[in-house]
Structure formats: C-alpha cells, structure tokens
Copies of this chain bind each other. A is one copy, B any other.
Amino acid sequence: MTMKSDTKFGTICYGIDIGGTAIKAGIFDMSKKLCRRFEFPTNRKDNGGHILQDIADFVAAQNVRLGYKAQDIAGIGLGVPGSVMADGTVNKCVNLGWGVINSGKILSEMTGIPVYTGNDANMAALGEYCEAEEKAGSMIFITLGTGVGGGIIIDGKPITGANGAAAEIGHIPIVHDETEECTCGKKGCLEQAASADGVVRTAVRILKEYGNTSSLKSYDVLSAKIIFDEAKKGDKAALQTVDTVADYLGKGLACAACIADPGLIVIGGGMSAAGEFLLERIRQSYRMNVFHPCKDTPITAAKLGNDAGMYGAAQLVINSCS
C-alpha cells in the first residue's frame, strides 16, 4: 500500500531545530515518518546573520537532490532557541545573536515555502507529546540540561504565551534561601538548583556538611553525571544532592500542575539519562506538593532525546495542514 499523496498540502515537510551549536534537520512524510536526517553546524558569525540563508541553501540543495518541487513541500517547521510570539516573531535569541526578527517570514521568502516557527522547547514538547502513549490533550514538558526549560501543550497545541515565555519552568521562584543571582537576574529560580550546573552548585553546598567523607571529594571537577553516578553507588552527599534537586523539581512541577493541570508530565534533557533513579524521587516530591486532584498525573521520561525539537517542528507543519 502506498501513501496517498496530498496534492493540496504536499507530501513531505522539513522539521528544523536550530541549536546554539548545531542545526538538526529532518525530512518527514506527512505521517511524521522520518525519511532523512541531517545535522550541520550553526554559523553564529555576524550575529547569526547567515543561519537562515544556510537553512534555505540546505533546503534548496535537498529539494534538487531528491527531486522535490515546491508543491511537494507542505512546509518547514522551525524551532528557535528564544521566545517566539504568536505571529512568529522571534523576540531575541541570545544564543544565536539574533535580535527581534520574524525568522519564519524571512526563511519563507528565501525558499518560497510556508514556514511555521516555534520556540525550541515548545517544539520538543510537541514532539514528545505526539510520541506519548497517553494522549492526554495537555502536557507539561521539562528539559533538564544546561538550563531548565519547558514547553506546555493545551488541547494538543503548544502554548506560546503573551510574551513567548510560557512554560519557563526553570524560572519559577522556588529556592527560598538562594543568595546568588540566576542568569536571568532573579534569585531562587528552579534552574539555579536543578539544571546540570545547578546540581553541581547544590552538591558543593551540601559537601560543606560532609568534610572529606564523600566520594565526590575525589573529583577535581564535578558534573551532574558524576553526582548521579556516585549517588547510585550510595554516596550520602551525592544522594542528599539528588534528593534535594528532585525535591525542588517535584515542587516546581507541582506549581506548574496547579496552574495547567496537564494530563501528562514528561521529563527530558541530558539529566533525564539518570532514569528512574531521578524520576521516582521527582514523583515523590510532586505528589507531596501538588493539589490532590493532580496527584496521579503520570510523570514519564522523554523518548526522542535530542531529536524531539526536530520532530515537533515537523508536527507543527502537519498540524497546520490538518
């Protein structure tokens, strides 16, 4: 059986996720099957002024190589690492060097193909939402990596927010006794305690109570991975760090659930590699802190890894065509 081609909307779409280091690009059919996957470096020279042309050149080259005509392409989904307004305007991408631009409009003019733009974390959320077994209608997605980011899905669609800042779970005020400033300028953000750097910060503070009894003391440079590995081996300071971080994360997710009451919570990002060891601790704290009707909301691990944004960007095109 062959897929019936959709002459109105095209038969394939591009899902493109612009990261600070690399651009991930997938060619998908309209049932979101990944046909081809590419990755090329993000050129951040000249305030990221070459990025969109690089993408346009890539798309043109692939179209020629694979024999696609304009009418074959349903659209390009574009995930960008910054706030994206409902009209597609990107409200600065510090990581790329971009100011306020409508990247979708520019890329569409360059390629002649409709472009659908979203925040990268929202795109990853949408990608993971579509992979989840439970089709809950709504979902909160949290990424634990260099920062703590997130995306929120309501009625199956990512929510942008009035300022392109919905689901900024990492900046919920949660650490009441924090004395240092977050990168955002506030004090006590979830990210300060629970990002990869935050885990190390938390460990360094806890280690002060442990003298030289912790195995963590034998490392010149700590990382979140080392701390999780030592905690799994039973080191008490590392365990206390993981418990503390999980407590903050559960509390942050409880705050989020008291507002959005999602049908599903998905945890992704590099730190989610710690698996059930971390997840079960987060669930415990979540249940302690959340309003009772939301106590049984499933908290699961993300499935798409670093490709979630690319899948979600493709989904944005597919959603727009249905």
Establish whether residues B165 and A289, one from each chain, have CB atoms under 8 Å apart when the complex forms.
no
Establish whether residues A169 and B293, one from each chain, have CB atoms under 8 Å apart when the complex forms.
no
Query: Interface stretch among A7-15, A256-264, A271-279?
Result: A256-264
Complex formed: what's the CA distance from A173 to B176 in Å?
A: 12
Establish whether residues A162 and B91, one from each chain, have CB atoms under 8 Å apart when the complex forms.
no
Residue contacts A-B, CB under 8 angstroms, 25 given: A91-B293, A137-B162, A138-B161, A154-B159, A159-B260, A159-B261, A161-B261, A162-B261, A162-B263, A162-B264, A163-B294, A163-B297, A164-B261, A164-B293, A165-B291, A165-B294, A166-B259, A167-B259, A168-B258, A171-B290, A172-B258, A173-B255, A184-B292, A256-B259, A259-B259
Taking the nearest CB of chain B, how far is it from the CB of A85, in angstroms? 10
Count how many chain A residues have C-beta atoms less than 8 Å from C-beta atoms of the other chain. 47
Taking the nearest CB of chain B, how far is it from the CB of A70, in angstroms? 31
The reply on A185 being an interface residue by CB < 8 A is yes
Residues in B neighbouring A293, C-beta threshold 8 A:
83, 91, 163-165, 168
Complex formed: what's the CA distance from A165 to B172 in Å?
A: 20
Taking the nearest CB of chain B, how far is it from the CB of A69, in angstroms? 35
A interface list, Cβ under 8 A from B: 83, 86, 91, 136-138, 140, 152, 154, 159-169, 171-173, 176, 184-186, 251, 254-264, 288-294, 297
Complex formed: what's the CA distance from A185 to B287 in Å?
A: 12
Residues in B neighbouring A289, C-beta threshold 8 A:
173, 186
Residues in B neighbouring A137, C-beta threshold 8 A:
86, 162
Q: Is the interface of A mostly helix, strand, loop or mixed?
A: loop
Taking the nearest CB of chain B, how far is it from the CB of A249, in angstroms? 13
Known: A138-B162, A159-B261, A259-B259. 6 other contacts (CB 8 A): A161-B294, A163-B297, A165-B294, A168-B291, A171-B291, A176-B176
With both beta carbons as reference points, the residue of chain B lying nearest to A83 in the complex is identified as: B293
Residues in B neighbouring A185, C-beta threshold 8 A:
292
Establish whether residues A297 and B173, one from each chain, have CB atoms under 8 Å apart when the complex forms.
no
Residues in B neighbouring A160, C-beta threshold 8 A:
261
Residues in B neighbouring A262, C-beta threshold 8 A:
161-162
The 7 closest A-B pairs by CB, nearest first: A161-B261, A162-B263, A171-B291, A163-B293, A165-B293, A166-B261, A259-B259
Taking the nearest CB of chain B, how far is it from the CB of A142, in angstroms? 11
Complex formed: what's the CA distance from A27 to B297 in Å?
A: 39
Complex formed: what's the CA distance from A158 to B238 in Å?
A: 43
Taking the nearest CB of chain B, how far is it from the CB of A127, in angstroms? 20
Interface centre among A83, A159, A167, A297 (most CB of B within 10 A): A159
Residues in B neighbouring A164, C-beta threshold 8 A:
261, 293
Residues in B neighbouring A86, C-beta threshold 8 A:
137
Residues in B neighbouring A288, C-beta threshold 8 A:
186
